[in-house]
């Protein structure tokens, strides 16, 4: 028997550095599954839901540079989409194998037939279906090149009958590994940027994930021009550490210090950021932007100078052209604001809360203190993002993953799976919302099956906390945000995982210490305060008005006790960031 197309697939992706396929096996994927079994060079990870597989692959790709997931005909394709959207918007290099019904049945309304081109078009950069053994290796090579070079999702449709067919050697390269290039603006453009910096009296630097490899260059530039440094949530772990001039984040989860530094500047440098909230950008200062993807320049803010290039290479060439500034009054003023914000946040984090209403800030600050120096954190979208953004700190070795751009619920646990596979031996801690964990609860079994030593901390506030806050700010009484949760620890134990429940604030630290020291997977469910509030760095009058209207509606609805609890919590949280 000759080598099958499925064998060719496994040999090629293994050469490209792919170590595993996250998938639910079945029908059209069976030939690929069998090729994995026979070759023993790539691992098959049997997830319980394809969405989990796509999120796990995205996390592994962010950490290791490439990853793979797969879905079988019809429903398997649809289940992949949410995780692939997240990977595409996070620039995570993921190869998705979409096995299809037999190629002879295309266009007939066959059982589980889907049009993969139309289905995956908006969540991928490369998306094709192979129907002959001659096409397949060339399409696979193109998919891998797109994935690695463009940092995007590539989807290759593979009919089940084609996977079983004899393969044909490709006349082109089977795979060409990526090469590192130096990409920076032209000299005249660099001189323009240097001139803007030299002429400005108050400069603020704002970094996105595109500045991840430029930490040292950012710190050197900041010291030279006496500029405070703000950063996005995605860039926090890469920019915050060993950075004496950092002033925190801005945005919905950010702090007043970064917001103030950006709005008080007369020149703002945007480095490797596609920050999505233009309402947080200043409009009274000049703005210069550097991004490896020039098509993104100027789509979030009014930019006076846009330069295409890698941030690290650009700053290396820029630094000799910039004059050292001596006046550091602006920098000192911004650092004083940041010191006050951090002092107030620390004060809030010391307050433990009460029985069944444990302060989530206290929990997050404990996780930060107790977690390993090189821990990998995953955070669910919603309030867990707030606590991660404000209380988890960078060390230069820690990493944090989340659905920061796509903003999906239920990402933290699946991403923890991918992180644990990608970095064996590293501590992986997932900050899970009760709403998010409930969505993908079945994949606790995946964690147990593969003995992944992830630590899941569930912030059980019995509510969709961020949605509750959004409704209240809009002047609406929260409705259908309350959750009737199971005993998450009991569920975890039933699946074979060590688990703890905490309702007493005095037991949180002891329990977290024990959980982090326990070998293997552990879940810790903590009853947190449902009224804990995430205040943005800038509070609009309309937001205060909306909140007041919502509280009045709750009182009229006979929910005065909830209003009182919310008011007490709000006072504490507002003080914590102002």
The pairing of beta strand 353-354 with beta strand 357-358: antiparallel
Q: What is the mean pLDDT of residues 160-168?
A: 96
Whether pLDDT at 359 is above 60: yes
pLDDT-derived band at 444 (thresholds 50, 70, 90) equals very high
Question: Which H or E run includes 37?
Answer: helix 30-39
Least confident of 165-179, 239-253, 262-276: 165-179
Cα separation, 537 vs 251, whole angstroms: 7
Whether pLDDT at 525 is above 80: yes
Choose among 343, 341, 366: nearest CA to 353: 366
The per-residue pLDDT for 153 is 98
Give the angle subtended at the CA of 161 by the CAs of 160 and 167, to the nearest 5°: 105
Q: What is the mean pLDDT of residues 68-84?
A: 96
pLDDT-derived band at 327 (thresholds 50, 70, 90) equals very high
Q: What is the DSSP letter of 373?
A: T
The per-residue pLDDT for 566 is 52
Helices (H), 319-460: 329-350, 360-370, 383-391, 412-422, 434-439, 444-449
Whether pLDDT at 537 is above 70: no
CA distances to 85, 89, 236, 481, 545 from 155, rounded to whole Å, are 12, 15, 31, 36, 47
Give the angle subtended at the CA of 370 by the CAs of 368 and 375, to the nearest 5°: 65
Least confident of 10-24, 29-43, 287-301, 562-576: 562-576
Q: Do domains 5-164 and 187-337 have the same CATH topology?
A: yes
At 401-422, the pLDDT tens digits run 999 999 999 999 999 999 999 9
At 449-488, the pLDDT tens digits run 999 999 999 999 998 888 887 887 778 888 888 889 999 9
Q: Taking the domain 5-164, which CATH number applies?
A: 3.40.50.970
Q: What is the mean pLDDT of residues 261-266?
A: 96
Q: HEC string of 290-357?
A: EECCHHHCCCCCCCCEEEECCHHHHHHHHHHHCCCCCCCHHHHHHHHHHHHHHHHHHHHHHCCEECCE
Which residues are registered as beta bridge partners of 525?
458, 501
Tokens 């905490």, located at residue:
502
CA distances to 474, 477, 479 from 471, rounded to whole Å, are 5, 6, 8
Task: Determine what percent of the chain is predicted with pLDDT higher than 90.
Answer: 80
pLDDT-derived band at 181 (thresholds 50, 70, 90) equals confident
For 520, half-sphere exposure in the C-beta direction (CA atoms, 13 angstrom radius) is 12
Cα separation, 447 vs 413, whole angstroms: 9
Cα separation, 510 vs 505, whole angstroms: 10
Q: What is the mean pLDDT of residues 334-355?
A: 95
Give the architecture (CATH level 2) of 351-577.
Answer: 3-Layer(aba) Sandwich (3.40)
Tokens of 168: 């044909």
Tell which wins on pLDDT, 227 or 558.
227
Annotated domain spans of the chain: 5-164, 187-337, 351-577
Whether pLDDT at 23 is above 90: yes
Whether pLDDT at 19 is above 70: yes
The per-residue pLDDT for 563 is 44
Whether pLDDT at 154 is above 50: yes
Average pLDDT of the chain to the nearest whole number: 91
Cα separation, 191 vs 186, whole angstroms: 9
Question: Which H or E run includes 287?
Answer: strand 286-291
Judge contact between 280 and 251, C-beta under 8 A.
Answer: yes
The per-residue pLDDT for 539 is 47
Q: Taking the domain 187-337, which CATH number applies?
A: 3.40.50.1220
CA distances to 217, 244, 248, 339, 341 from 332, rounded to whole Å, are 21, 11, 15, 10, 14
The per-residue pLDDT for 558 is 55
Whether pLDDT at 278 is above 90: no
Judge contact between 213 and 312, C-beta under 8 A.
Answer: yes
Cα separation, 365 vs 284, whole angstroms: 36
pLDDT-derived band at 536 (thresholds 50, 70, 90) equals low
């Amino acid at each position: 028997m000759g080598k099958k197309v499925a064998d060719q697939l496994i040999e090629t992706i293994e050469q490209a550095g792919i170590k595993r396929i996250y998938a639910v096996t079945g029908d059209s994927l069976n030939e690929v599954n069998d090729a994995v079994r026979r070759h023993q060079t790539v691992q098959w990870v049997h997830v319980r839901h394809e969405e989990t597989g796509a999120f796990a692959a995205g996390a592994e790709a962010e950490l290791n540079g490439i990853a793979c997931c797969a879905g079988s005909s019809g429903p398997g394709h649809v289940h992949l989409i949410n995780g692939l959207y997240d990977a595409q918007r996070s620039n995570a290099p993921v190869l998705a194998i979409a096995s299809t019904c037999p190629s002879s049945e295309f266009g007939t309304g066959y059982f589980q037939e889907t049009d993969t081109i139309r289905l995956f078009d908006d969540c991928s950069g490369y998306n094709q279906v192979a129907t002959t053994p001659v096409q397949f290796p060339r399409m696979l090579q193109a998919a891998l090149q797109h994935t690695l070079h463009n940092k995007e999702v590539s989807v290759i449709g593979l009919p089940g009958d084609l996977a079983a067919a004899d393969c044909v050697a490709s006349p082109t390269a089977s795979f060409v590994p990526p090469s590192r290039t130096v990409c920076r603006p032209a000299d005249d453009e660099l001189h323009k940027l240097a001139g803007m910096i030299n002429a400005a009296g108050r400069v603020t630097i704002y970094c996105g994930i595109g500045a991840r490899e430029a930490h040292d260059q950012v710190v050197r530039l900041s010291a030279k021009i006496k500029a405070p440094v703000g950063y996005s949530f995605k860039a926090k772990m890469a920019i915050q550490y060993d950075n004496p001039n950092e002033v925190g984040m801005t945005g919905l989860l950010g702090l007043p210090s970064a917001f103030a530094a950006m709005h008080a500047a007369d020149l703002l440098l945007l480095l490797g950021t596609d920050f999505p909230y233009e309402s947080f950008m200043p409009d009274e200062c000049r703005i210069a932007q550097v991004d490896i993807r020039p098509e993104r320049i100027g789509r979030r803010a009014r930019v006076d100078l846009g330069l295409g290039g890698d941030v690290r290479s650009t700053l290396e060439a820029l630094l000799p052209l910039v004059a050292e500034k001596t006046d550091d009054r602006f920098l000192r003023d911004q650092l004083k604001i940041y010191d006050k914000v951090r002092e107030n946040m620390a004060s809030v984090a010391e307050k433990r809360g009460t029985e069944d209403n444990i302060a989530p800030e206290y929990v997050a600050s404990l996780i930060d203190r107790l977690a390993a120096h090189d821990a990998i954190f995953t955070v669910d979208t919603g309030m867990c993002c707030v606590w991660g953004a404000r209380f988890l700190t960078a060390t230069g070795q820690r990493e944090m993953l989340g659905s920061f751009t796509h903003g999906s619920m239920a990402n933290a646990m699946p991403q923890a799976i991918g992180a644990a596979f990608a970095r064996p031996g590293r501590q992986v801690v997932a900050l899970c919302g009760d709403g998010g964990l409930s969505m993908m609860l079945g994949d606790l079994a995946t964690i147990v099956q593969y003995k992944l030593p992830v630590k899941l901390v569930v912030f059980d506030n019995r509510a969709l906390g961020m949605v509750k806050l959004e409704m209240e700010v809009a002047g609406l009484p929260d409705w259908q945000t309350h959750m009737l949760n199971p005993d998450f620890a009991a569920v975890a134990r039933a699946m074979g995982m060590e688990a703890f429940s905490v309702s007493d604030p005095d037991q949180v630290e002891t329990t977290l210490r024990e959980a982090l020291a326990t070998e293997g997977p552990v879940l810790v469910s903590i009853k947190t305060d449902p009224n804990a509030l995430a205040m943005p760095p800038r509070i609009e009058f309309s937001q205060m008005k909306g909140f007041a209207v919502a509280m009045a509606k709750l009182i009229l609805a006979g929910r005065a006790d909830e209003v009182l609890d919310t008011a007490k919590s709000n006072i504490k949280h507002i003080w914590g960031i102002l």
